[in-house]
Structure 1
């Protein structure tokens, strides 16, 4: 299992976009997060990175969130999407595309601390996952990779993760740039390794942190690990994810790098993006099939 997970870690950490994330990778957190999720019950998944130039979300994040939700559903876990307004149309469209009926909770832009505590009391989740979700910087603001202050446009979901940590709820962070929730676990390394890291680095840590070349790939990496643990391929088929990509773009998602409304992820053409995911799927099949 350990050697297989190491291969998964290598695959998802390919830095095809050239962000210099290799120093941020914590070996072992991928497997630890998957094993922890196996013991879970209700899992909150938050995603959706606000693109200031277009006023909507991007293609990296929603696809991985749906992949995780589908895998958790197959394992009998309850997945709940916790998002903010700009990303609601994208996630609703994605859920409709795959026919998955799960709850969506809209987190407010203001008054989040009280809302977070009430939400945790109501659902009593075992785990929280932040997937490509902007996190708070040292100065209390929220920045994109261009060092644009988007604090007034996004829900401050760090408060949910801080409250969860205080309650002993396990947290998982997924990111690819250093400014996402969870990166507080490697804060000093982000400052030293990522362009504009001193300004944008997120201070909020998570129990487990999975850093990948594209955040969606990390979500698929978790699905691959879960598949190995249960000896059943829980990964989304390429044809389904292609439909998802088309659907979220149709509903307004843009490429977070090019800022264009096109079927690309972090500037990667679909063929290059899916080549990595397909390698994960093929590896899992070789491991679990007789």
Structure 2
């Protein structure tokens, strides 16, 4: 299983994004997290050790004036992973800001994902966050911005996002303190979880120590998680976990299909879910063409099918 997950992780850490974003750095950061085993393997093993648990998936990255309904990286992967986990008997709820909820629910409709989608409050330490920290057994954040050591949220390019998105680092920190499972999936270093490799990420990322917001501390988040999953594109990290769960449980239907990815990306455009790489409303994901993301999903699907098949050759 760890061999399969290693192949999966090699695929979804390829530096395919455009210049101007950390395309060559995520593989380096991934290797820091995978010294003992492929990260997807460690996450899947942790999930499988806790059958039926109450799990929250957190996503959403809206930006007023640019993509007010959020970007398509995050909600698509969240819907896919929630579907896989609910089919395995987990009690899953997805949380996102009010601006992103309509797009998320549409992605769920496409995938026939029945998990509740709930509005995530933005205020740090609010009653909802404290309640969730107590009630949830595990949390998975997908493309969810966190705070740096000075308490500032940033975009990948170093602009402040404070006041725009939910500040939920405290929720994760409370769960960590209680020994609960927390997972961070991110592709820029500014997402929750990069506190696991804080010093290394600050050295490796171009905006690791400097930013343009004036705080003078860089974009790397200080918040830690049980498992950090640095990937090329956050959705791909979620799709990779779906593929790994499919292999582990011998249930290929848990994996996302190319047809599903094509439909989600296509319908993101009229829903106002932006390509986060360019800020444009187009058939793309984090700056790469939609066809490339569909192809990635197809390779993940093939990895699942090949891993569940034995061939006997007589020549």
The interval holding the TM-score normalised by the smaller chain is over 0.9
The equivalent residue for 1:248 is 268
Superposed displacement of residue 125, structure 1: 2.4
Q: Secondary structure at the match of 1:146?
A: coil
Structure 1: unaligned runs, 5 residues or longer? none
Is the CA contact (8 Å cut-off) linking 1:19 and 1:194 kept in structure 2?
no
Instruction: Report whether the alignment pairs 1:21 with 2:26.
Output: yes
The equivalent residue for 2:59 is 47
The equivalent residue for 2:195 is 184
Which of 33, 36, 39 is the matching residue for 2:46? 36
Q: Relative to 1, partners in 2 of residues 1:181 and 1:167: Cα closer, same or farther, differing over 3 Å?
A: same
Superposed displacement of residue 111, structure 1: 5.1
Rounded to whole Å, the distance in 2 between the matches of 1:82 and 1:118 is 13
- Counting only pairs closer than 5 Å after superposition, residues 98-177 of structure 1 correspond to structure 2 as 98-110=111-123, 112-121=125-134, 124-177=135-188
Is the CA contact (8 Å cut-off) linking 1:135 and 1:142 kept in structure 2?
yes
Superposed displacement of residue 272, structure 1: 1.2
The equivalent residue for 1:216 is 235
- Counting only pairs closer than 5 Å after superposition, residues 82-101 of structure 1 correspond to structure 2 as 82-101=95-114
Is the CA contact (8 Å cut-off) linking 2:169 and 2:192 kept in structure 1?
yes
User: What do residues 59-110 of structure 1 show as CA deviations (whole Å, max 9, x unaligned)?
Assistant: 1111111110111021111211111122112112212222322212222122
Question: How big is the alpha-carbon RMSD for the aligned residues of Structure 1 and Structure 2?
Answer: 1.5
The equivalent residue for 2:249 is 230
Q: Secondary structure at the match of 1:200?
A: coil
The equivalent residue for 1:7 is 7
Q: Secondary structure at the match of 2:297?
A: helix
Instruction: Report whether the alignment pairs 1:68 with 2:81.
Output: yes
Q: Which protein, 1 or 2, shows the higher relative CO under an 8 Å CA cutoff with sep ≥ 6?
A: 1
Q: Relative to 1, partners in 2 of residues 1:56 and 1:146: Cα closer, same or farther, differing over 3 Å?
A: farther
Rounded to whole Å, the distance in 2 between the matches of 1:2 and 1:102 is 29
Q: Which moved more, 1:151-160 or 1:247-256?
A: 247-256
User: What do residues 225-284 of structure 1 show as CA deviations (whole Å, max 9, x unaligned)?
Assistant: 111211121101111222222223221110111110111001111111122221111011
Is the CA contact (8 Å cut-off) linking 2:86 and 2:115 kept in structure 1?
no
Rounded to whole Å, the distance in 2 between the matches of 1:95 and 1:22 is 30
Count of aligned pairs between the two proteins: 288
Q: Relative to 1, partners in 2 of residues 1:224 and 1:189: Cα closer, same or farther, differing over 3 Å?
A: same
Is the CA contact (8 Å cut-off) linking 2:185 and 2:230 kept in structure 1?
yes
Q: Which moved more, 1:91-100 or 1:191-200?
A: 91-100
